[in-house]
Structure 1
Amino acid sequence: MTEQKKPRYVTRAINVELNIEIQVLLWKLLDSIAVKRKDKMDYLQVFEIVNGGNNIKIINRQEQPATMEELIIEHGSMEIEDTIVWIIDDFEYQTMLFPKDY
């Protein structure tokens, strides 16, 4: 479902409120998920970001087929708040947004 050649966009809120390093990480995660899941990739990918002190836990979920994966990374001094980010693939382009932006 996802192709790296599609244009990618972020909402104004993502651009202002989400650290650019996390944005890049989420795009990279999306690419790796697309390779693993191939044709079982839902158009809506949900990323829950949880700050755990020196680590960030990123939980990826999709509805069809129901799938969940967790990733824990060290973030050092990067400041990040707990949040949920969606990436929607609508065939022509991909958009990263907060649920409140929808």
Structure 2
Amino acid sequence: MTNKSRYMTKAISEELDIELQVVLWQFYDEINEQRKEQMDYLQVFEISVCEETLTITNRQEVPSLQTKVIINNKVKGAKNTTVWIIDDERYQTMLFPKDY
């Protein structure tokens, strides 16, 4: 867990279920703990929805790393999408690529 403030764009707030937002922040914290100094400032989360599962693939460019988790799909209205989390020195922001 971080002491940095966390923000999200209006689009994330309106279009991404709160449960999925929480899952993404938790996944972000887990990979941050695992990667430590290798964590890139831009994390990409690709969400794929199947009937019973959600597959969340995280990737970063520098260094090139990828991690995937599959969870039960209990999120209402979940859809295939891509979400970014950008870690600034002062805060972290969750956004859709279209928001950038």
TM-score normalized by the length of structure 2? 0.96
Counterparts in 2 of 1:77 and 1:98: CA distance versus 1, 3 Å: closer
Counterparts in 2 of 1:5 and 1:77: CA distance versus 1, 3 Å: closer
Alignment pair present for 1:32 and 2:44: no
- Given that 2:83 and 2:94 are in contact with CA atoms closer than 8 Å, whether structure 1 keeps it comes out as yes
Segments of 5+ residues of structure 1 without an aligned counterpart are none
- Aligned mates of 1:18, 1:32 — CA distance in 2: 20
Q: For 1:91, give the aligned amino acid.
A: E
1:59 Cα offset (Å): 0.3
1:42 paired residue number: 40
2:97 paired residue number: 99
Give the aligned CA root-mean-square deviation in angstroms: 1.0
Aligned to 2:66, the other structure's residue is in SS state strand
Q: For 1:93, give the aligned amino acid.
A: Y
- Aligned mates of 1:41, 1:77 — CA distance in 2: 28
Alignment pair present for 1:21 and 2:19: yes
Q: How many residues align?
A: 100
TM-score normalized by the length of structure 1? 0.94
2:52 paired residue number: 54
User: Share of identical aligned residues, percent?
Assistant: 52
Superimposed CA distance per residue, residues 57-87 of structure 1 (whole angstroms, 9 cap, x where no aligned partner): 0000000000011100002362201000000
Q: For 2:36, give the aligned amino acid.
A: K
